Structure 1
Amino acid sequence: MKRNLSIAIAMFLSSALHAQTHDFHKHLTVVDGHNDVIYESLLKGRNIGERMSVGHTDLPRLKEGGVDVQVFAVWSDDKKYGKGKAFKHANAQIDALEKAVRDHAKAIAIAKSSTEIEEILRSGKIAAIIGIEGGNMIENSLENLEALYRRGARYLTMTWNYNLPWATAAAMEVKTAGSKGKGLNELGRSVIRKMNELGMMVDLSHAGEKTFYDVLAVTSKPVLVSHSNAYALMPHYRNLKDEQLEALKKNGGVVGVNFYSGFLDPDFETRVKRLYRQYYGNKGDYRLSASRQYEKLPLRLKRQADAPLSILLDHIDYLVKKIGVAHVAVGSDFDGIESSPQGLEDVSKFPVLTDALLKRGYAEDDVAKIMGLNFLRILKENEH
């Protein structure tokens, strides 16, 4: 009898705490600093106004997840969309986003400033911000940079995974030893100065280390690292080393934690390969990369392969201890990644992260900063 009573009390308390967390999350301003749904769904003709069984993102799930401000990444593969094509492709993606917004004007609106974000949120809509993921899309032209800003782009990621004539990428530093040390040239420095003048955030995710430090030497505004993690916990070139984190703090910038299991968990690839071998045995293609093997696993094994949620929290803990809670945000990379932490399977699951942070002992004010206010702070600081 006593045992049953104890169980009933525990269930009641758990339910009450869940309700409190849900209410708290609902009153947060939740900002996701990076999402690739334009490329993954809008360019494929999918209707994000309806709940989809594919991808990570649509308007019903954004609403369910309590996402107030979503950055929509505009991305073009450097190799497929080179000079003469990249700027046009960027504009085509903005066209696709604008059409989706027109089609669902009661649910979402594009914001071009902090003031517009506040107005949109007061109306009960989701605020959409445009981020350009890759400097290749300006095609070495400050005029193109300004044109994208006028269309609503509020950050530019310096590079993707390839070098540009004016900036070097982290991926190429790893693949090509000759890329190390190049950083920004004079055109690159002009790009940074123009962005500062416009009020456009500089995003240093994907940037090579020399590019990272060269930008910090030029910029007069705090920078964003929209979707990266802590190198000390996961030594991947997409993550920030301690020295970079310290420099980011001095600049006043913000790093948004990336949800990709492969950027969070050192054991992710090993786990994927083990599960793939268990499932396919002698019929498996072991020449495939771990990410391709992951894609071929059934859903139940994918969920086993995904990083534990605790590892994402470990990265947040590390970043907060290293540079302070004022410099940490969220940049999920949903629809640009194949694997996210267990419990964070799509944009509807953001309340899970809020709950996990509270259970880790974060104060409500600090959770509010991580989940959105820090991103909004540097957006506003870049505007002035």
Structure 2
Amino acid sequence: MKRRDAIKSLSLLPVTANVLPVKAWLSQPERSRPLTPQNKPMPALHRDAFVMDGHTHVMTRELLMNTDIGQRYSDGNVDLPRAKEGGVDAMFFSVYTPEHYYPGRFEIKNTFRVVELALDQIRKNNNTIELALNATDIQRINKSGKIAAFLDLEGGYDLYGDLNVLRALYRLGLRSLQLTAHNTTNAFIDACNDVYTWGGINDHGKAVIKEMNDLGMVINVAHASNDAILQSVAASRHPVIYSHGGFNRIVDHPRCITDEAAKAIAAKGGVIGVHFGSLFNNPKYWDWQRSSNPIRTQPDPQPATPRIFNSQDTSKTIEEVDKELLKEVPLNFRGTIPDEYWMHVDQLAKVIDYGVKLVGEDHMALGSDLDGGPELPHEIKDISDYPQITIAMQRLGYSDERIKKILGLNWLRVIRKVTEGK
């Protein structure tokens, strides 16, 4: 299943939300024209601020196409030259193990090879980027003029949640991990887009969280069910993050966080990263998509075993799976959006503002999901357009201090708390 199809499959219990007032609020007129590539202003505030993206896809194309992230690509959203042009100082360097690798139980093998490749690419491009293990590293690297890479995993590192595999990944430099197997419920936590087997998390899920707390790893609850988010926050001694998504009160897509869960994350000191895609932030686009992507009712009762363990397929080699995934690379959105459904960056800023009003400016940040499939705002074609977010927040009348928190300081604070205990 393709990544976009997996996100839109919506195989879960119906989600209920009162979205009409927020939709009306977001329907205010937007700016109608994107800036041209020849006219990309970078406000002094953006240039001088610490800018960190909480979810940027890397290494899938490098793995499958044998490319170098240090070179400028003619397609996709992310490479190091364009990241520098966008004023990005640090990023969750999000390596990815998607659903393609689960049926053959290749998730562990793929995870280790993409982590190794990420380390190799960082070493190869050491004049531009450097691995960071904590907040102090990030600041040191940033001061040297380089981009700091904070290694993060999206997808199943092991469907059973083996703690020894987790410890080995930590030794390699992995410092952030998404608990769910992307959109798939695994052996210890329910995903929002899959069957709800555990009613949130089970005892082993709590053991994984405890181990991550002990190691000093950032716990990422993006893609988890609402109950799983609430229970993970309660089980963790440290703040947790929701790296990339929207708000369910704005778009009632299952991948969007509820107000209840957002408040729980904030109360624990965590941070919510706003995704850049229309699917999670633009009610008009979601209404347009919903007709062809209906929410399906889950079986009752829920299965006692996550369905991924009932769909094993050992007939393919990992190289054959690679060839299937290669057809989707780069993993950026390729569809066509009519003008009336195409989101503008000002609307994305309003979603940020909704979060600020809900949980406070200390708990909001950016998690673009670039090269992960988002239908980007009209004014943003790739990571070099990052200043457009700052410009949009300035148009809202946000103070410099508030913008700086959202651009990166909030991520830095959580990373410091988790990795250094400060």
TM-score (norm 2): 0.76
Secondary structure, counterpart of 1:226 in structure 2: strand
Larger RCO of the pair (alpha carbons < 8 Å, separation 6+): 2
Counterpart of 1:51 in structure 2 is: 72
Structure 2 counterpart of 1:268, one-letter code? Y
Q: Deviations over 1:191-247 (max 9, x none)?
A: 000111111011010001121111122111011000011111111111111111221
Native 8 Å contact 1:133 1:156 kept in 2: yes
Q: Does 1:170 align with 2:192?
A: yes
Number of the residue aligned with 2:109 = 88
Determine helix, strand or coil for the equivalent of 1:259. coil
Query: Runs of 5+ in structure 2 lacking a partner?
Result: 1-39, 292-330
**SS class of match (2:212):** helix
**Closer, same or farther: CA 40–311 of 1 in aligned 2, 3 Å:** farther
Q: May I ask how many residue pairs the two structures share in their alignment?
A: 340
The alignment-based identity, stated in percent, is 34
Q: Distance in 2 between matches of 1:330 and 1:106?
A: 25
The structural deviation recorded for 1:315 is 0.8
Corresponding position of 2:26: none
Q: TM-score, normalised by structure 1?
A: 0.83
1: distance between equivalents of 2:242 and 2:168?
23
The one of 109, 115, 120 aligned to 2:130 = 109
The residue matched to 2:52 in structure 1 has which SS?
A: strand
Contact preservation (8 Å) 1:167, 1:184: yes
Partner of 2:193, secondary structure, is helix
Of Structure 1 and Structure 2, the greater helix share is in 1
The Cα of 1:263 is off from its aligned counterpart by 0.9
4+ residue runs of structure 1 moved beyond 4 angstroms? Answer: 269-274, 301-305
1:1-384 correspondence to structure 2 within 5 Å: 22-82=43-103, 84-137=105-158, 139-159=160-180, 160-172=182-194, 176=195, 179=196, 182-269=199-286, 295-297=334-336, 305-383=341-419, 384=421
- The Cα shift of 1:80 comes to 2.2
Q: CA deviation at 1:96?
A: 1.6
Offset from partner CA, 1:301-327 (integer Å, 9 cap, x none): 677753121221111011000100000
Superposed CA deviations along residues 170-191 of structure 1, whole A, max 9, x for unmatched, are 001xxx4xx2662111111000
Residue 78 of structure 1: how far off its partner (Å): 3.4
Larger Rg: 1
Q: Distance in 2 between matches of 1:166 and 1:57?
A: 32
3-state secondary structure, aligned to 2:404: helix
Q: Would the alpha carbon gap of residues 361 and 295 (structure 1) be closer, same or farther in structure 2, given more than 3 Å must change? A: same
Task: Give the aligned residue type for 2:415.
Answer: L
SS in 2 for 1:267: helix
Asked if the contact 2:192/2:226 (under 8 Å) is kept, the reply is: yes
Query: Given residue 364 of structure 1, which amino acid in structure 2 is its aligned partner?
Result: D
Check conservation: 2:251, 2:286, Cα contact below 8 A. no
Distance, in Å, in 2 between the alignment partners of 1:216 and 1:305 is 35
Q: Using a 3 Å threshold, how does the CA distance of structure 1 residues 296 and 209 change in structure 2: closer, same or farther?
A: closer
Amino acid at match of 2:186: L
